[in-house]
Amino acid sequence: MSEKTKENEAEATANGSPKPTSPNADLKHDFASFWNYSPAPESSDFVEIRKQYQHYIDGSFSVPAKKRYFKSINPATEEVLAEFAEGTSEDVDKAVKAARKAYDKVWSKLPARERGKYIYRIARMIQERARELAIIESMDGGKPIRESRDVDVPLAAAYFFYYAGWADKLDYAFPGRKAEPVGVCGQIIPWNFPLLMLAWKIAPALATGNTVVLKPAETTSLTALKFAEICMDAGLPAGVVNIVTGAGQTGAAIVDHPDINKIAFTGSTEVGKIIQKSLAGTDKKFTLELGGKGPNIIFEDASVDQAVEGIVNAIFFNQGHVCCAGSRLLVQEGIADKLIKKLKQRMETLIVGDPLDKNTDIGAINSKMQFNKINEYIEIGIKEGATIHQSNSSNLPDKGYFCKPTIFTGVAQSNRIVQEEIFGPVLTIQTFRTPEEAVEKANNTPYGLAGGIWTDKGSKIFKISQKLRSGVVWANTFNKFDPTSPFGGYKESGVGREGGLHGLYPYVNLK
Ligand code: ADP
């Protein structure tokens, strides 16, 4: 390890967040003053957030059986945002019974075009309440308003529109077969895209005639309960959608409930494995969308400036809280120095801070737990001998959980920071000489969710993407989503696909 790296290691602060490396301190003068914006916060004045929220069961808000609540905080201010009902197995049972009744008596009997009308109505109401939903998503989850406003909420509406369209066309989706709903679906979602993950789960389930019991993540329950209000306003029959809030035990109660026919889970590989074990030997259908360690491969013939933007989008925007993030950069040797220099310059211009500010690129880390985990991995990276660089610009706010964009060079394939999912704005950088070496390195982790290729040559895109063990491969772009396109993983990244026509399969029995 060089003397410089040792010095940097010594600079690590008490909270685990190392100081930036000194060799790049000059970058501060070049860029920081140039990118000084005045604050442009989105007002949250008109957003109504109640002190306490109940479960949404059988068409109305329902006090939890044990009358216990847990607090959810705004990760940017560390202030309590609201209290949510803690779901027990009694609450889950009540929700499943409501969903079963609605399935048997109403939803599965409704003509498909009528189901479609409800789903279209929900999609339109998400659009009407888009601003409110985006602000809440940023306050609750810490993500920049630009992202929740331009990505999360419009895409959530788009998934409802898309699956509303399929409701009365299932005979065309499965020609010559009869698609029947599976029944009551238990759905468990994570905190990185709360409303969007809800849409991915609920829209195809309803379109195919199922009813649902959904549990949002314990740190981001609010948009799911706003969605419950939308269901009520849309006149959705009682019990078709039920929302039970709580943490892991509530999720486990959903997984273990004997009257649930299908489980859809998005979250960590660790919990996915627990769920898969619980489901073994049952006849429940399931889809699991788990972790990732996405390779982002930059070839020498790529446009370097475009690639730098793509890298920033792939790992730094949304704090790296994306399971399909491009968290491993693989860059061809000939352009490595140039690209890394440009990337460092671009990092200086990234604004870390208030999620509600429209200029913010990187908001707050979702929870204290995740914040500590990211800092632990940064420490691990330093101990593994990698060279760290963090941006010099943007002073972090005094309160809240914020993390500077961080890159590690000088990493080995076997390093934990290369193999394990960090789920933060932390990028490892490796080089390669030949396409074969790029593919070998890209595939060499337990994950296989998403990846990116940057090159001028279309033929290279086709050749390499065929060889990547990855559910999604983006070419000359990254993190682009569309409701018509399936999404899901290889290896430890999961089982099954969501989105597109493929996303209908897990919700139907074909006769
Ligand atoms: P993340 O790393 O995204 O927080 P988790 O896997 O911890 O992922 O959480 C994803 C979702 O799974 C959350 O809604 C969480 O409450 C839920 N969950 C956690 N543990 C369990 C469990 N044992 N069974 C079912 N759901 C769980």
- Residue 243 CB–ligand 1 contact under 6 Å: no
| Confidence band, pLDDT 50/70/90 cuts, at residue 33 | low
Q: Which atom of ligand 1 is nearest to the CA of 191?
A: 3
Q: Are 374 and 423 in contact (CB under 8 A)?
A: yes
* Structure-token pair, residue 468: 């990547």
d(CA 141, CA 190): 11
Over the stretch 134-173, which tens digit does the pLDDT of each residue have?
999 999 999 999 999 999 999 999 999 999 999 999 999 9
Nearest CA to ligand 1 atom 13: 217
- Does 23 score more than 50 pLDDT? no
Q: What pLDDT is stored for residue 35 in this prediction? A: 59
Helix pair angle (222-233, 130-141), 10° resolution: 160
Q: Which of 289, 421, 492, 498 is catalytic?
A: 289
Centre of ligand 1 from the C-alpha of residue 251, in Å: 7
List phi, psi (to 5°) of 321.
Answer: -85, 55
* Structure-token pair, residue 40: 């442009």
Q: What pLDDT is stored for residue 395 in this prediction? A: 79
d(CA 399, CA 396): 8
Centre of ligand 1 from the C-alpha of residue 205, in Å: 20
- Residue 288 CB–ligand 1 contact under 6 Å: no
Mean pLDDT of the chain: 93
| Confidence band, pLDDT 50/70/90 cuts, at residue 32 | low
- Residue 237 CB–ligand 1 contact under 6 Å: no
| First-last CA distance in the chain | 63
Q: What pLDDT is stored for residue 394 in this prediction? A: 58
| Ordered DSSP codes for 431-500 | EESSHHHHHHHHH-SS--SEEEEE-S-HHHHHHHHHH---SEEEES--S---TTS-B--SGGGEES-BST
Centre of ligand 1 from the C-alpha of residue 433, in Å: 39
The 3-class SS string of 101-140 reads HHHHHHHCCCCHHHHHHHHHHHHHHHHHCHHHHHHHHHHH
Residues 6+ apart with CB under 8 A from 136: 47, 49, 222, 223, 226
Annotation marks residue 289 as catalytic: yes
Q: Picking from 6-10, 32-36, 181-185, 340-344, which range would have the lowest pLDDT averaged per residue?
A: 6-10
- Does 28 score more than 60 pLDDT? no
Over the stretch 232-269, which tens digit does the pLDDT of each residue have?
999 999 999 999 999 999 999 999 999 999 999 999 99
Q: From the centroid of its chain, how far is CA 122?
A: 22
- Does 20 score more than 80 pLDDT? no
Question: Which CATH number fits the domain 292-475, given the four candidates 3.40.309.10, 3.30.460.80, 1.10.10.10, 3.30.930.10?
Answer: 3.40.309.10
d(CA 364, CA 325): 17
- Residue 214 CB–ligand 1 contact under 6 Å: no
- Does 16 score more than 60 pLDDT? no
Q: What pLDDT is stored for residue 208 in this prediction? A: 98
* Structure-token pair, residue 140: 């609750």
Q: Are 385 and 1 in contact (CB under 8 A)?
A: yes
Q: What pLDDT is stored for residue 348 in this prediction? A: 93
User: Residue 53 corresponds to which amino acid?
Assistant: Y
- Mean pLDDT of the region 285-302: 96
Q: What pLDDT is stored for residue 36 in this prediction? A: 74
Bridge-based pairing state of the strands 295-298 and 328-332: parallel
* 392: helix, strand or coil: coil
- Mean pLDDT of the region 425-430: 98
- Mean pLDDT of the region 83-93: 98
| Confidence band, pLDDT 50/70/90 cuts, at residue 506 | very high
Q: Say what the alpha-carbon torsion angle 65, 204, 128, 193 is, to the nearest 10 degrees.
A: 70
The closest alpha carbon to 57, from 263, 275, 200, 215, belongs to 215
Which of 198, 201, 215, 271 maximizes ligand 1 atoms within 8 Å of its Cβ, making it the mutation to test the pocket? 271
The closest alpha carbon to 403, from 387, 419, 418, 388, belongs to 388
Longest Cα–Cα distance in the chain: 72
Annotation marks residue 403 as catalytic: no
Q: Are 480 and 474 in contact (CB under 8 A)?
A: yes
The closest alpha carbon to 324, from 473, 459, 209, belongs to 473
- Mean pLDDT of the region 9-33: 45
Q: What pLDDT is stored for residue 25 in this prediction? A: 47
- Residue 495 CB–ligand 1 contact under 6 Å: no
- Residue 255 CB–ligand 1 contact under 6 Å: yes
Q: What pLDDT is stored for residue 37 in this prediction? A: 83
DSSP state of 57: E
Over the stretch 354-368, which tens digit does the pLDDT of each residue have?
999 999 999 999 999
* 243: helix, strand or coil: strand
d(CA 474, CA 80): 39
CATH 3.40.309.10 domain locations along the chain: 292-475
d(CA 477, CA 196): 21
- Does 321 score more than 80 pLDDT? yes
Q: Is 52-290+493-510 CATH 3.40.605.10?
A: yes
Q: CA dist 66 to 87, 90, 201, Å?
A: 8, 9, 28
Over the stretch 109-133, which tens digit does the pLDDT of each residue have?
999 999 999 999 999 999 999 999 9
Q: Which of 323, 403, 421, 492 is catalytic?
A: 323
d(CA 385, CA 409): 10
Which of 188, 198, 269, 374 maximizes ligand 1 atoms within 8 Å of its Cβ, making it the mutation to test the pocket? 188
User: Residue 262 corresponds to which amino acid?
Assistant: K
| Confidence band, pLDDT 50/70/90 cuts, at residue 204 | very high
Q: Are 405 and 365 in contact (CB under 8 A)?
A: no
- Does 484 score more than 70 pLDDT? yes
d(CA 209, CA 307): 43
Q: Which position has the higher pLDDT, 318 or 443?
A: 443
* 340: helix, strand or coil: helix
Q: From the centroid of its chain, how far is CA 117?
A: 28
Q: What pLDDT is stored for residue 21 in this prediction? A: 44
The 3-class SS string of 283-333 reads CCEEEEECCCCCEEEECCCCCHHHHHHHHHHHHHHHHHCCCCCCCEEEEEH
- Mean pLDDT of the region 172-176: 96
Q: Are 275 and 498 in contact (CB under 8 A)?
A: no
* Structure-token pair, residue 354: 């208030």
* Structure-token pair, residue 244: 């039970």
Over the stretch 404-416, which tens digit does the pLDDT of each residue have?
999 999 999 999 9
CATH 3.40.605.10 domain locations along the chain: 52-290+493-510
Centre of ligand 1 from the C-alpha of residue 217, in Å: 7
d(CA 52, CA 158): 30
Residue 509, classified by CB atoms within 10 Å of its CB into exposed (0-12), middle (13-18) or buried (19+), is middle
- Does 34 score more than 70 pLDDT? no
- Mean pLDDT of the region 387-395: 85
Bridge-based pairing state of the strands 79-85 and 69-74: antiparallel
